[in-house]
Amino acid sequence: MANFDAEVPNDLINMLNELETNCEDIFGQMTKAGAEVVYKNVKSNIKSAFKSTKSLERGLKITKVYKTPSDDAINVYVGFYGYILNSKTSNKFPKGTPIPLIAMAREYGTSSGEAKRPFLRRSFKKSQIEQEMLKVQNKYIKEG
């Protein structure tokens, strides 16, 4: 019968143990780094779709990193929140016009004839996002 003995260096074992205990934090930081890239891209692209961007930029936010209870995924949202407070109020929108509604109308167009001018979809550049996520990963995983 054949016999095989292998010795794994203690440095490698310690690194793997540290990665196992900190994996949620590492993935959260990686996801946050990717979301920050998207946030910066949206901020720069919004200027091409709107004349005045001050109130929309105020509504653009990045959420905290959170874990979904259904599938234990680690998520971060980049989205529009809030209302344009100095806009006209109506029975339908007593707090003012919702910022997400304005952003969606510009992104996808409206049934009343406003043409779509996408600025969100152009903000998700896979290579930039992956590059930032790999920078965070390389802080924890030392190669060679």
Distance CA 33, CA 35 (A): 5
**Predicted pLDDT at 49:** 85
Selected residue with higher pLDDT from 142 and 113: 113
pLDDT digits (tens, 9 = 90+) for 69-121: 999 899 999 999 999 877 677 778 888 889 999 899 898 988 888 888 888 99
Q: 80 by DSSP, 3-state: which?
A: strand
pLDDT at 143: 64
C-alpha count within 13 angstroms, C-beta hemisphere, residue 75: 10
Interhelix angle for 10-49 vs 126-140, to 10°? 150
Q: In angstroms, rounded to a whole number, what is the distance separating the alpha carbons of residues 43 and 45?
A: 6
Mean pLDDT for the chain?
87
